[in-house]
Amino acid sequence: MSTAILNQLLHNIAPDERASFKGIYQRIKELPSASTDLQDFLDDYLDQIVQLYAATAGAIWFYSPIDGQLVRKTQVGLERLGLIGEYELPHKQLVQHALGCSRAYLVRPYSAPGDGANVSNPTDSFLLLGPIEGQGEPIGVVELFLGPTPLRGQTSGDRNRYVLWLDHLVEHLRQGIRLRYLGSSAPLQPAMVNLEAARTEIGAYKDAIRKSLEITLNSYAGWNFGSLQNNQTFAKSMHNLLDDNGLRVACAECGAPAILRCQAAGNSKTGVFLYDHYLSTGRTFHGGPSTFPRVTLIAKPPRRKSK
């Protein structure tokens, strides 16, 4: 909403109410940046907006994408309206209808919100409803009961202005929710996108670690450290480092993830390097060079289930 329209709306408010209205409006504008959690922010916002409209009651509903239901997050004065029994379902259907609308609107007592609507206001109060949207997804609804004879908005012109005001005020509500990460009612898709971005970033780090270790280890290809004990010490230290980073050596013979070990064999005084892995036939050793081989690093396989 432009500054010119806001100023015009303020100008059209009765002079004796204008100062009070502007003071409450200023407090609402400051709420999104306040150091409060989501629930306290919603409570404070509803308290202020009920004062602003001199409403008899109000509520903020959040939409749950899991089951498609609306959950009341905060309320003021609803317990006095008797919205139970035969009135409970029509009321919830009316709030649900508002969720699919693009703008705020006012419903007269015992009336439908528009031609062709299959829902209606089951109360004797003027009811103001404003949908809340975020990132293209429905978040919830703001609901205000103005009473059978609204203290503010007594004429149709006044009521139309207050509908425009709610469209504007909902923007501050959306901002406050967004700054608090939309809490537990956040739409699933943005959350999944963020998780996937984190997964991609972590994958890039892992790939960089794998390449760095490959370069380091292959700088020792063809080396023999002079004794069986020295070769075993190097092989064990290498395995511990790879294991800490979820890596294994790819077997030079079959390509399976393996632990590179050095073991005594035949006439070799310094041992031979072997690829120790489990294949479908059981535990298998491949290889046998007397010097440290060139290696290719791959992901560590899932832990084998014990029989």
* pLDDT tens figures, 153-181: 667 776 677 788 888 899 999 888 888 76
Q: How large a percentage of the chain has pLDDT more than 90?
A: 50
Which pLDDT score is estimated for 237? 96
* pLDDT range class, residue 183, cuts 50, 70, 90: very low
Helices (H), the chain: 3-12, 15-30, 38-53, 88-99, 156-179, 188-218, 228-244
Mean pLDDT, the chain, as a whole number?
A: 85
Q: Does residue 201 surpass a pLDDT of 70?
A: yes
CB 277 within 8 A of CB 298: no
From-to residues of CATH 3.30.450.40 in the chain:
3-186
34 closest CA partner among 46, 24, 45: 45
Q: Does residue 184 surpass a pLDDT of 50?
A: no
Q: Does residue 303 surpass a pLDDT of 90?
A: no
Distances (CA, A) of 14 to 81, 152, 251: 28, 9, 84
Is the model more confident about 223 or about 85? 223
Q: What's the pLDDT tens digit per position in 251-300? A: 999 999 999 999 998 888 899 999 999 998 889 999 889 999 999 999 99
Nearest-angstrom CA–CA distance, 269 and 105: 89
Least confident of 180-184, 202-206, 279-283: 180-184
Nearest-angstrom CA–CA distance, 157 and 9: 11
Which pLDDT score is estimated for 59? 96
| Topology (CATH) of 3-186 | Beta-Lactamase (3.30.450)
CB burial string 215-237: b at 16+ within 10 A, e below: eebeebeeebbeebeebbebbee
Which region holds residue 226: left if phi is over 0, alpha if psi is between -120 and 50, else beta?
left
Model confidence, pTM: 0.57
